[in-house]
Structure 1
């Protein structure tokens, strides 16, 4: 049945050359754990991508129940945890995954740095990777406020005060994020939700696409 479906699609859009090109791509010997014990350090990038996929899927599920409104935000989170089947598990995956993805990205960045994989011809890929790191930090920061509890409120207040200390554009940056330069309220929650769900994911997908294209062109870097 699946073969017939595949043949039907392949006859119309010719997908075989695409996946064969991906499947036939050779993996360097130094990233094969069967040959080199140290090859595990090359797994951090893949693990980061895997956790990112989990974050996207779990986040899509959470947005089906979340209400970005100061009157209903916490109520919707509580309903998700208490009433929705497997809601507590999915929210837990998203919550802990937000920390784990940063850890994996940090380890991946360390591997790239100490093995000199940021050098020619991979300088641009290093810059893109650093930008991805900052986008991930932004996702963590904006997502922290969304449950709208005391911990999230005061942590965001501290974060906005730090943003306000940015030279030249600090006040404007805080106003852009919070909506109101004086209080954290309904506009802040709405803006954080929009940034977390729309703006930063769009930037993340674009940067990751560029990252993968360059990895494909340049190959996986080798050890020093």
Structure 2
């Protein structure tokens, strides 16, 4: 049945050359699983992307139940955890996945740096990778406030105060994040919009450029 559907689509859209071009792409010898250590350190980028996909899928599930206002936010999270089937598992995956994604991205960045993969002709992709790192930190920071409990409130307050200490532009950053003078309803609304719409869109755009450049320039050489 699946074969018939695939043949029907392939006959009309000619999809075989598209996925063949991706699946048949050769990788350097030093990334071969036979070279255990080298293959291991070169897998951090792929694992990071896998975790990001899990974050996106679990986040889509969470937004079906989350209510982004200060009256119902915490109650909606409790309902998700205690009443929705598998809700506690999905939220746990999203919560811990955020930390794991940043750790894996940090390890990937270290691998790129210590193997010199940021050098010519991959300088621009290095910049894209650094931007991706900051976007991931932004996603972690904005998502932390959404449960709207005491820990999230005071952690966000401290984070905004740190941002406000940045020379020249600090007060403007803090004002943008708060949406006012205190951590309140506008702050929660802005963090939700940033976490669900703006930062994911930026993340996907940067990932697209990142993968395009990897495809165009290839994987960097051995240690």
Report the TM range for the smaller structure's normalisation: over 0.9
Match of 2:126 in 1: 126
Structure 1, unpaired ranges of 5+:
none
Q: How many residue pairs get matched?
A: 223
Aligned to 1:200: 199
Query: 1:143-158 residue pairs with structure 2 within 5 A?
Result: 143-158=143-158
How far apart in 2 are the matches of 1:35 and 1:98?
30
CA distance in 1, matches of 2:175, 2:188: 13
CA deviations over 1:7-31 (Å, ceiling 9, x no partner): 1111111111101111111121101
Q: CA deviation at 1:186?
A: 0.3
Partner of 2:137 in structure 1?
Answer: 137
Aligned to 2:39: 39
Deviation at 1:50, TM superposition (A): 0.3
> Higher mean Cα deviation, 4-13 or 116-125?
4-13
After TM superposition, which residue ranges in structure 1, 4 or more long, deviate above 4 angstroms?
none
Cα displacement (A) at 1:108: 0.4
Quick check: 1:69 aligned with 2:56? no
Counterpart mapping for 1:162-181 below 5 A: 162-180=162-180
Q: Which residue of 1 aligns with 2:99?
A: 99
What is the CA distance between 1:176 and its match in structure 2?
0.7
Counterpart-to-counterpart distance in 1, 2:187 and 2:101: 25
The answer as to whether partners of 1:30 and 1:36 remain within 8 angstroms in 2 is no
Match of 2:218 in 1: 219
3-state SS of paired residue (2:202): helix
Q: CA deviation at 1:171?
A: 1.2
1:36 CA displacement: 4.3
User: Residue 108 of structure 1 corresponds to which residue in structure 2?
Assistant: 108
Tell which deviates more after alignment, 57-66 or 13-22. 13-22
RMSD: 0.8
SS at match of 1:194: helix
Per-residue deviation, residues 28-50 of structure 1 (Å, max 9, x unmatched): 11011224433200010000000
TM-score (norm 2): 0.98
Q: For residues 147 and 121 of structure 1, what CA distance do their matches in structure 2 show?
A: 43
Which residue in the other structure is 1:80 paired with? 80
Is 15-24 or 71-80 further displaced after alignment?
15-24
